[in-house]
Structure 1
Amino acid sequence: MGERMRPEVVVLLGGRIRAVRRERGLSVVGLAGLSGVSRRMLTQIELGQANPSVATVDRIAAALGTTFPALAGVLGEGPPDGVEVWSAPNGSWARLLQAVETGEVFVEMWKWHLVAGDRYRASPIGGAPASMAHVLRGRLRVRTGEGERYVGAGGSARIESTADHTFEAGSDAADFLWVVTMPRTTA
């Protein structure tokens, strides 16, 4: 499984990126220069025709002076169940429940459900401190460049955010919360 988003979230984010870009008086070329995302990719994202990674949307959001959670609509009084950002055909999903911004960082809380044998690979987050996963049900396998470990229900794991890491469900489904602290970047 890759780290691709649900189609309806892609359309939502594309529309919000376009609106914020226009509000800031930026052209697509200008935003491409600030974000490091190609003009072609930005156009496809704005039209809901490309399915970018969360890391790509984070770069675009930073260039616009905002954040992924703000674009997704989960800051402040967001939807009570969050926004289902990712899902897989066999029933796995991830919801961004809430986010809190401070001057230097913002904190995202995600709820995950991975079905047996399913996995999700997360990209590194430059400059981010470690994240935390807390298993609510089942058994979660966390693989990093340093190795792997298993976390059972009621257990928690600290995960370095500056390297690739993969979450995998074991022989049963795994439900877990993932708390990520992101550095506040400016374009």
Structure 2
Amino acid sequence: MDKNSLSVQIGEQLRYFRQQRHLTLEDLAELTGVSKPMIGQIERGTSNPTVSTLWKIAAGLQIPFASFLTTNPSVKIKKVDEQPFFTDDDDLFEVYNTFSSPGIPVEIYRIRLLPGCMHFSERSGSGTVKSITVHSGRLTVKIGEEESFTINNGDSVSFTTDNCQVYENTTNTVCEMNMAIYYSRTQVQL
């Protein structure tokens, strides 16, 4: 899916969720910490929002992040070149949605951290659990004020998202991982 089509789809989904909750642009800006002009640009499909911006909006609306990426929950094969994806951190952080379905409180992503990538993820609140499995390379994860953890090829880590996280690739090779996100208290029925 090309970036322009993806931006339009994200905008349509955002407008749907905002209107479903009878929120104005101002209401949503206050709820998410994302400016009213940025939300308007996203809804019109004229902005290519960052992963961090969409996470803030999803957290404010209390919906799965992938809700912006899916319009039809029917079963289908997602070929690599058809998977919706985002980049962040100067294109060093790539996020590919591999599974999401409205009403199901689980999302699965394939993530690539290019060498030198350091990605910050804000806390999502209680009731959310992330599970990461590294498939190639090495990942350094810092959760809140805790020490850093090194996750090697084949290793997994699970944690609640009560604290912010930092994901870092300090090697010279690409780190590829899968991330599953489980929302134990889904507040929104889609």
- Please give the range of the TM-score, normalised by the shorter of the 2 chains: 0.7 to 0.9
| TM-score normalized with structure 1 length | 0.75
Structure 1 residue 129, shift from structure 2 partner: 3.5
Structure 1 residue 42, shift from structure 2 partner: 2.8
* 2:40 match: 43
Higher deviation after alignment, 87-96 or 173-182: 87-96
What is the rounded CA distance, in whole Å, between the counterparts of 1:156 and 1:136 in structure 2? 9
* 2:169 match: 169
* Unaligned residue ranges in structure 2 (runs of 5+): none
In structure 2, give the amino acid aligned to 1:43: G
2:21 is aligned with 1:28: no
* 1:125 match: 124
Relative distance call for 1:7 and 1:162 in structure 2 (3 A) is: farther
Structure 1 residue 126, shift from structure 2 partner: 0.9
In structure 2, give the amino acid aligned to 1:99: S
Higher deviation after alignment, 132-141 or 92-101: 92-101
| TM-score normalized with structure 2 length | 0.74
What is the rounded CA distance, in whole Å, between the counterparts of 1:13 and 1:28 in structure 2? 17
Written as runs of structure 1 = structure 2, the 5 A alignment for 1:1-187 is 9-21=6-18, 24=20, 26=22, 28-29=24-25, 32=28, 35-36=31-32, 39-47=36-44, 48-49=46-47, 51=49, 53-59=53-59, 61-62=61-62, 67-73=64-70, 75-77=73-75, 80=78, 81=80, 82-87=83-88, 89=90, 92-100=93-101, 106-144=105-143, 145-171=145-171, 172-182=173-183, 183-186=185-188
* Unaligned residue ranges in structure 1 (runs of 5+): 1-5
Relative distance call for 1:147 and 1:19 in structure 2 (3 A) is: same
Structure 1 residue 36, shift from structure 2 partner: 4.9
Equivalent residues of 2:92, 2:117 under 8 A apart: no
Relative distance call for 1:119 and 1:58 in structure 2 (3 A) is: same
Structure 1 residue 25, shift from structure 2 partner: 8.5
What is the rounded CA distance, in whole Å, between the counterparts of 1:25 and 1:163 in structure 2? 27
In the comparison of the two structures, how many residue pairs are matched? 176
Equivalent residues of 2:115, 2:169 under 8 A apart: yes
Equivalent residues of 1:139, 1:152 under 8 A apart: yes
Relative distance call for 1:112 and 1:17 in structure 2 (3 A) is: same
